[in-house]
């Protein structure tokens, strides 16, 4: 992807190029969508939550096991799970005293994978 030089030299001119400005307005996502999207990415912006997701990629896992694999307190893991639950990144299934977590849908898996690609591409 190469940068396409604009035919304009001054911003005052650019701003007067109504056609270009209007095309930008169409590209611009609306506030509601931006906020919602930001929430999703924010949920993915914590190392602990990402580590949890990596464990849930191929497995259904209960909280206690997450606690022992991650070596963190049950409380903090539960907090993180709630965040992801509320955004429907994960879902859970109760069985007796246990709650088994899994990724909610394939979008989460794809987002995670795409992120990993970006990170690995940078190194």
Partner DNA sequence: GAACTTCATGAATAGATGAACATATATAGG
Partner DNA sequence: CCTATATATGTTCATCTATTCATGAAGTTC
- Alpha carbon distance 41, 20 (integer Å): 29
The answer for residues whose C-beta is within 8 angstroms of residue 88's C-beta and 6 or more apart is 104, 105
Q: Is 99 in the site for DNA (CB under 7 A)?
A: yes
Among the candidate windows 27-35, 64-72, 106-114, 115-123, which touches DNA by CB under 7 A?
64-72
Query: What is the per-residue binding string for its own copies in 15-54, x denoting contact by CB under 8 A?
Result: x-----x-xxx-xxx-x-xxxxxxxxxx-xxxxx-xx--x
Q: Residue 99: enclosing H or E segment and its boundaries?
A: strand 98-103
Q: Is 122 in the site for its own copies (CB under 8 A)?
A: yes
Among the candidate windows 23-31, 94-102, 105-113, 115-123, which touches DNA by CB under 7 A?
94-102
Among the candidate windows 5-13, 16-24, 28-36, 111-119, which touches DNA by CB under 7 A?
5-13
Q: How far is the CB of 73 from its own copies (least distance, A)?
A: 15
User: Which runs of consecutive H residues, i.e. helices, occur in the chain?
Assistant: 11-16, 18-27, 31-43, 47-56, 63-70, 74-86, 106-122
């Amino acid at each position: 992807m190469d940068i396409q030089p604009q035919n304009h030299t001054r911003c005052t001119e650019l701003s007067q190029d109504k056609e270009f400005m209007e095309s930008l307005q169409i590209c611009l996502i609306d506030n509601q969508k931006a906020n919602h999207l930001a929430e999703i990415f924010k949920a993915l912006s914590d190392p602990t939550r990402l580590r949890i997701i990596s464990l849930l990629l191929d497995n259904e896992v209960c909280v206690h096991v997450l606690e022992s694999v991650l070596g963190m307190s049950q409380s903090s893991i539960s907090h993180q799970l709630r965040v992801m639950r509320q955004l429907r990144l994960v879902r859970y299934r109760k069985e007796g005293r246990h709650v088994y977590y899994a990724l909610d849908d394939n979008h989460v898996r794809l987002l995670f994978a795409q992120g990993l690609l970006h990170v690995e591409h940078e190194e």
